[in-house]
Structure 1
Amino acid sequence: MHIRDPIHGAIEITPGERRLIDSRAMQRLRHIKQLGFAELAFPGATHSRYAHALGAMAVATRVFDAALREAPLAPAERGRMRQAVRVAVLFHDLGHPPLSHTTELALPPLGALALPEWLVDDPGRQASHEDMTLKLILDSELASVLERSLSDCALTATDLASLLTGRTPPSGAPFVAGGVDYGPVLRQIVSSELDADRMDYLLRDSLFTGVNYGKFDLDWIVQNLCHVVREESAWLALQRRAIFAFEDFLLSRYHMFMSVYFHRTSIGYEAMLRRWFEESSDAYRLPADPQAYLGCDDVELWSALRGSASEWARRIVERRAYKVVYEEHPKDPHQAPAVESALRAAGLPVIVRRSKGEVSKYFGARRGIFVRTERDVVPVESYTPLFERYAEAAVLVRIYVPPEVREEARTVVARVLS
């Protein structure tokens, strides 16, 4: 069977994968927007986590086939690892709350999920969407569907949890063959500086927002992927001739964050939603129970907002958003604290948001991606100067006020800046 996709064309799926795609957990993602409030600034950005998951699975398959084409794996073991990567990437976003990242602050404490000990670092911290993904895979109706669908290739939900987290279960590393642990390279396909998730969402978000920043040479990068073995573990590597395409990929993501993901409109609405969660007794809360969580999507959240008496909820629903009166870019004079103080002194309500953009969150990791040259294999961060050039995070500071007092606030800001 094939599923048509606007980015990758016909995506082939197996009968077992179709059962997984038809599961409630996966179908729920049809009703979770990929970019949350971004459609308020980019009307075309109504695409879903469901479409992204399918596209990321298609990319992951290409990356696996390229990176491990020279790996000395028996056909059965190769098929098992390939299937593991496909399903792990297909399911990597299962736990996303409504409006994607926007409502993660409404998730329960990690300890409430009752995950296995080897997957819990701090039970007192707030759970993330990655934690909810693990809960759905290990402890929901999806677990039995997984067992039936993947039994032919000897894959378990625990194997997928290990691949999604990079942690080793008590039973041992699940992807060792010929004395080499392939877990690291498989994990990098799922989540790394050059993972299938990023490769799909940049192209997809670029298309549906109508911007050009997220475009990069996917074909050339994939064609030049390989792997290296270090200390009996396999790691993702890139031929040096594709290093410029890799740099362009990094910059594409950076520019998408600064121009799309951190757009002033969506950031402002997210700030108001946060105020609703923090200040309203009737605010939306997400359950720890996996079956109840499957009923939480964008439709339910918007229903809760429409039914709320909170002023923050009313502003969101009626699109009476706070407006930006001051914006500070990385190279601008640092005047945000003075502006904020002046606005508060004038008795004006303000919201201050700081958005931090980074070229790489993996820079300095113990084991990252390698570059294969004619003579040697070196870590990618030592081969390209891009990481050092953009080592310092770029911070956007925005100050918002209610539209009713915007003109008064502009007068205050002008006085401070002059």
Structure 2
Amino acid sequence: MSSENTRKYVFDEIHGYIVLDPLMRDLVDTPPVQRLRRVKQLSQAWYVFPGAVHTRFSHSLGVMKLAEKITDKLINDGILSKDDRDLLRCAALLHDVGHTPYSHALEYVFYSSYGINHEELSYMMINEEPHIREVLSNYGLSSNEVAKIVTGTHEEPAFNNLLNGDLDVDRLDYLPRDALHTGVRYGLIDLERIIQTITLDDEGYVAVHPKAVHAVESFYVSRLHMYRSVYYHKTITGYQLLLAAIYEMILAEREVKSFLEPFTSLEGIRKSVREGSICAWDDFLIGGVLNVVLAKKLGSEILRELIKSYVNRRGYKTFYNHISFKLEQGITPSEMDKLNRISKALLARGVNAYTFRTYTESVPIISSEKEVRVLSNAKSVKISELEDSIIKSLPRYMEIVRIYALPALEEVIKDLI
């Protein structure tokens, strides 16, 4: 970073120079935002794409930059007011501040244990973390308003849709950013065309002019390809599940659990948020604990075996992988029956539950409620309702059914499948 008077400049690989005014500078300098430098954007994607080591920090800066550009356009168009600008920029910068270490890999553990996801953790941090609260208060901004925009619960629908819609500033940044760092070209989108034509309809939904329809169609298709090629890549998902299994085991083993305290319970996490010490909960902490367990031979033998499998890239293999595209959401009963049957058979044979995982996911491709609108004859219509749009031909859901296990279980698994 270099400074000029009260502004700072950050060079970003996607957006070029990003200018930080005093508000953004002070918010970026808080420990919770700096923590995002130490949380990988794509968790275990670097096991498959070695260049995918970018962080939530660079993504958050990019989302803030896009929010700034789009908000300024909407202000110039008379749709938003200048008072909205700082709220939306702060929400954009802080939208991922509640991500667990390794992003979505460990979020599963906390959601299954405590029913809380990263959006709700972000809400907690924006409202209760002292460094963030102080900066927002110093600039006359409401922490609660910013937090509600992040979680999509603000009273103003336009705010929610700009940060939580199908075509929001979050997706407009992570698709090209993740494509660049993985080397997968499917995520490239016509960002400038979308920004030039983006607007809001009378109900606060994100809309574009007809001349940008092709750019939006390309966005939807790119996102579908990135889901298949990166975000739900079978090997990447396997290492996310393996790390989650390791974390679950650590929480269950007293000898090593203490290394992760206070981040072993919702109460402990909330306490660290209120005390301003949440910044220690990052990828480095988790990686360090795994190394300590191996170096000092702590915990159970199966825990150390799983950690060795993880760090040496000898993790879960995919023994069953079924992907289908549907108009209606839902894994078929026959697929669920297969997973349940195999799980019960493995446990009946004495196989440790942590050495295999069953996995199902229903991934929304197009959200009917959040779908991009297109301005047409003084009104807006969903893009899928346009007669000549390719969006109506796209599936609404990608259904994934998989069975993962350590390589040593190959013969047993194949026999059951």
Tell me the TM-score normalized by structure 1: 0.80
Amino acid at match of 2:142: T
Asked if 1:403 is matched to 2:403, the reply is: no
2:47 and 2:313 in contact (8 A); partners too: no
Amino acid at match of 1:191: N
Deviations 1:79-134 (A, max 9, x none): x211211111011011111001111144489xxxxxxxxxxxxxx95222112212
Deviations 1:278-300 (A, max 9, x none): 44324552522202422100001
d(CA) in 2 for partners of 1:382, 1:40: 40
Amino acid at match of 2:173: D
2:37 and 2:56 in contact (8 A); partners too: yes
Asked if 1:35 is matched to 2:42, the reply is: yes
1:37 and 1:99 in contact (8 A); partners too: yes
> Matches of residues 256-271 of structure 1 in structure 2 within 5 Å?
256-271=226-241
CA shift, 1:343, in A, is: 8.8
Deviations 1:24-44 (A, max 9, x none): 011000000000011111100
1:254 and 1:357 in contact (8 A); partners too: no
Aligned to 1:140: 129
Deviations 1:28-62 (A, max 9, x none): 00000000011111100000000000011111122
Deviations 1:326-348 (A, max 9, x none): 322327x9778658857975846
Name the CA shift for 1:392/1:145 in 2 (closer, same or farther; >3 Å).
closer
Aligned to 1:97: 100
Amino acid at match of 1:319: R
Amino acid at match of 2:380: V
Asked if 1:15 is matched to 2:19, the reply is: no
> Matches of residues 13-412 of structure 1 in structure 2 within 5 Å?
13-71=20-78, 77-78=81-82, 80-107=83-110, 126-141=115-130, 142-148=132-138, 150-151=139-140, 155-168=141-154, 183-230=156-203, 234-279=204-249, 280-281=252-253, 282=256, 285=264, 287-289=269-271, 290=273, 291-308=276-293, 309=299, 310-311=303-304, 312-330=306-324, 341=341, 345=345, 347=349, 350-360=356-366, 362-364=367-369, 369-374=372-377, 376-383=379-386, 388-406=392-410, 408-409=411-412, 412=415
Over aligned residue pairs, what C-alpha RMSD do you find? 2.9
2:9 and 2:17 in contact (8 A); partners too: yes
d(CA) in 2 for partners of 1:324, 1:162: 39
Amino acid at match of 1:396: I
d(CA) in 2 for partners of 1:47, 1:164: 22
Amino acid at match of 2:270: A
2:198 and 2:206 in contact (8 A); partners too: yes
d(CA) in 2 for partners of 1:255, 1:160: 32
Name the CA shift for 1:389/1:364 in 2 (closer, same or farther; >3 Å).
farther
SS across alignment from 2:52: coil
**Higher alpha-carbon deviation: 290-299 or 314-323:** 314-323
Amino acid at match of 1:143: R
**Higher alpha-carbon deviation: 381-390 or 27-36:** 381-390
2:152 and 2:164 in contact (8 A); partners too: no
Name the CA shift for 1:374/1:343 in 2 (closer, same or farther; >3 Å).
closer
Aligned to 2:296: none
| Number of positions where the alignment pairs a residue of Structure 1 with one of Structure 2 | 372
Name the CA shift for 1:392/1:157 in 2 (closer, same or farther; >3 Å).
closer
Aligned to 1:113: none
SS across alignment from 1:398: strand
d(CA) in 2 for partners of 1:67, 1:409: 59
1:363 and 1:381 in contact (8 A); partners too: no
1:105 and 1:126 in contact (8 A); partners too: no
SS across alignment from 1:229: coil
Amino acid at match of 1:358: P
SS across alignment from 1:65: helix
Which structure 2 residue ranges, 5 or more long, are not aligned? 1-7, 294-298, 326-331
Name the CA shift for 1:25/1:378 in 2 (closer, same or farther; >3 Å).
same
Tell me the TM-score normalized by structure 2: 0.80
CA shift, 1:400, in A, is: 2.2
1:203 and 1:214 in contact (8 A); partners too: yes
CA shift, 1:410, in A, is: 7.5
Greater helix content: 2
Which structure 1 residue ranges, 5 or more long, are not aligned? 110-123, 174-182
CA shift, 1:386, in A, is: 5.1
Name the CA shift for 1:400/1:341 in 2 (closer, same or farther; >3 Å).
same
d(CA) in 2 for partners of 1:375, 1:140: 45
